[in-house]
Structure 1
């Protein structure tokens, strides 16, 4: 485009794109093609509807949608009217959604009926202090209390654009507030790192509630003036079909998708690169990418800093594609810290801290947590890493206790809490079980109340279903123990449970 550095807001970027590229292809969905200008007309109509519903600049608008054209249009319409959009994961259960609404107090909540039977908001018939309106397949809750907007008018670079929710690893999901500067700086660096231009066509597989979808799917595409293909419901057979029908040049998604692409799709069409985030990339996946002669680059970050690092092409080629080492994106500084000392030497593990224009503004309504996340100007990521001999970062994992299953981050403590509804569970400890395709699966070590009664997986899942525990919290492998290993202070030694699995300890009975 050539003028993106002069623009300071996403809204201004969108208007400039409509001005310069009105007739150019923007979105492909179900074989239908839409230009930037056509989408612009739909956005204008949707913006008028939002205004008619009373949405004002600075209001929070929560959207729970599938990945489709209607979702894209409403997101851009929110930006058009100056609202701060809060995309909600359609996989959030009722408790998670209700808690977010209570904490964030959005002026409008709009839900699209799902065809997959995982509805949450669209099943609600009533929300306190909200008026229900239905139109087509949309269900809208409009606040009956006109509160002072949380945010000021979205007119400047430091103003909020979107609130992305964290996965709730150690507590309830936090609302990560991202500004115009955050988004534009992040995606300018992303396009530069991976050489993405107007000629590219990306297949978008991550929802708008996820940083990959919102940042690298929507914002990066508009910034480059390129185009996207939308797939509403992920299925690898549909992905394979699209790769034959459309000249898709790259896909940015999770390791699970990369596994399916590289192991299950025979013809990869015109793909020139794969970009992977959300979880660590296993060596077997890199080896398969090497066999398929298709680069698989690591793009590493977190919701609060999307992205902050990537695997550079030259180093990737030097290592014959068998590396996930990363270097900071343009405009980003990274340091490793251990016991308040900055680490500069190779092969010494430390906590990753980051600073730069991509760093988020705040956690919505949680100033104490916002302050606690920073070390001066540096964002404390919670990631452990070390420098390799080439000076690149080798990410080792998280310092916290969480499971990353198919890119979805699940707090082990939350799974443990959900499983307590089961009648014959006295104690439980949950850990991540390594899995080549998904990265990790949920493993649970159970001490039963009745030691004489064997716990079967079928009975356990039936009880969880009865209590309406969401499937994402269901354990995939379980083991029965007489006691959990603990420290003198009573804390569970989860590392010993991991050792039990590795050594196939005789005192652990696995139940399939």
Structure 2
């Protein structure tokens, strides 16, 4: 971040934007356009409501909204009041939400009634330690006391502005605490890398609970003085209509959305670039983008480091649009570690580590996990990679058992836990299966208790459904094996299972 911006907060950047371009279009939703000033008017009204609930600087405020104007207004109102927002995925099941509330103890929880029944918090009529208020289509849970305050630094830029939830191999959501400095340094670098300016309009398909939506949608737009178009409910038909009816110049999303656009949108309108984050870009997707005549750039990062690297335009052109190799963004350092040594030569795989101002502050109330995630100041990403002959980084895949399906992190252990309790399952191992649209799908390798009893994918899904297991944990492809191959110390030989998958291609 430049020296003159080192004391900025997201709140200050918003106020500066209101002063500079109050009448420019900021937001488009369902054909309605809102200027920066019009949104700010709604933000100020919401600030008064929040103050009436007794909020204090540094309070955690959980927000569970679909991607709509109301949710964005709430986020900006919280930011202006120096509250720490914790956006909740409306797709979270009740156990996930209750786990977060129990651990994070937010002072306020504002939840919106969902049109599609995903109102996991709205449908609660009571919550321990909270009283309830309602307004319009929202329900507010107000905690009986202020137990947590995260505003501890005199320099506001070092105070938290957002807590994004991410799941690791355990499946339990972790709270990634990001400061004003983390977020702003990331988005100044992002805008420079992809030349985001005030002539742009981005289409947002990811909710504000996702790093892409919050960082590259909301904050990037405010910094650039550009505009964003939002979809409350994602479908490719809605995206196609948006591209047709709005001057969308770029889209940053997960591989699933990029796939849908390239394979289903006949008219790309004013789109001049696509950016894919959240997963490794499959070669077939790059080929399709090249055939459609639109550049598809890689933007690699994690919730803890959003973003940290990108495919430079000049390099992309030099390699005929068929590369996802990346270099660090401005202010970022990256390295590859193999057996404790820093790798500098080409084609030697190792663990990717990152350092710089975008790196998160901590995992909320989990100092042990925070400490173990760093190697002498370098954040351990959990991804493997290697340098190519041009010394750009190529992402090879995850070290952990995390599956990234359509940009969503799914714990293979969590899926295994659901499947292993099915009646005829003796043992199970879950793998991420490469998929051009979703990045990965959930594959299950199952050894049966009774091999004579009929068992197939539908049998498994029916049983999981009857046990009210959330659909995101349902395997999408299964292999019936005599036994799960293991090493002498009991570890699964996943390379053998991967060979089975590759043998079917």
How far apart, in 1, do the equivalents of 2:143 and 2:154 lie?
20
Q: 2:446 — aligned with what? A: 446
Matched, 1:57 2:73: no
Q: 1:143 — aligned with what? A: 143
| Count of paired positions | 504
Matched, 1:395 2:395: yes
Deviation readout 1:130-151 (Å, 9 max, x if unpaired): 1122222112111113325243
1:132-211 residue pairs with structure 2 within 5 A?
132-152=132-152, 156-211=156-211
Q: 1:343 — aligned with what? A: 343
Q: 1:122 — aligned with what? A: 122
TM-score, structure 2 normalization: 0.97
Q: SS state of the match for residue 146, structure 1?
A: coil
How far apart, in 2, do the equivalents of 1:33 and 1:309 lie?
32
How far apart, in 1, do the equivalents of 2:309 and 2:388 lie?
15
Q: SS state of the match for residue 444, structure 1?
A: strand
**In 2, are the aligned partners of 1:154 and 1:161 still within 8 Å (CA)?**
no
Q: 2:83 — aligned with what? A: 83
Deviation readout 1:271-326 (Å, 9 max, x if unpaired): 11001101111111101111111000000000111000000000000000000000
Matched, 1:456 2:456: yes
CA shift for structure 1 position 49: 0.7
**In 2, are the aligned partners of 1:154 and 1:160 still within 8 Å (CA)?**
no
Mark the runs of 5 or more structure 2 residues left unpaired by the alignment: none
Q: 1:331 — aligned with what? A: 331
Q: 2:312 — aligned with what? A: 312
CA shift for structure 1 position 338: 1.0
Q: 2:241 — aligned with what? A: 241
1:243-392 residue pairs with structure 2 within 5 A?
243-392=243-392
Q: Identify the range of structure 1 (14-23 vs 131-140) with the bigger mean alpha-carbon deviation.
A: 131-140
How far apart, in 2, do the equivalents of 1:484 and 1:214 lie?
41
How far apart, in 1, do the equivalents of 2:143 and 2:417 lie?
32
How far apart, in 1, do the equivalents of 2:247 and 2:206 lie?
19
Deviation readout 1:14-38 (Å, 9 max, x if unpaired): 1111111111110011111111111
TM-score, structure 1 normalization: 0.96
**In 2, are the aligned partners of 1:26 and 1:34 still within 8 Å (CA)?**
yes
Q: 1:226 — aligned with what? A: 226
Q: 2:35 — aligned with what? A: 35
How far apart, in 1, do the equivalents of 2:123 and 2:421 lie?
24
CA shift for structure 1 position 369: 0.9
How far apart, in 2, do the equivalents of 1:480 and 1:38 lie?
58
Q: Per the alignment, do residues 174 and 8 of structure 1 end up closer, same or farther by CA in structure 2, a change over 3 Å counting?
A: same
Matched, 1:11 2:11: yes
Mark the runs of 5 or more structure 1 residues left unpaired by the alignment: 506-512
Q: Per the alignment, do residues 422 and 106 of structure 1 end up closer, same or farther by CA in structure 2, a change over 3 Å counting?
A: same
**Aligned alpha-carbon RMSD (Å):** 1.7
CA shift for structure 1 position 256: 0.8
Q: Identify the range of structure 1 (488-497 vs 357-366) with the bigger mean alpha-carbon deviation.
A: 488-497
How far apart, in 1, do the equivalents of 2:483 and 2:281 lie?
34
Q: Identify the range of structure 1 (450-459 vs 242-251) with the bigger mean alpha-carbon deviation.
A: 450-459
How far apart, in 1, do the equivalents of 2:311 and 2:432 lie?
26
Q: SS state of the match for residue 122, structure 2?
A: helix
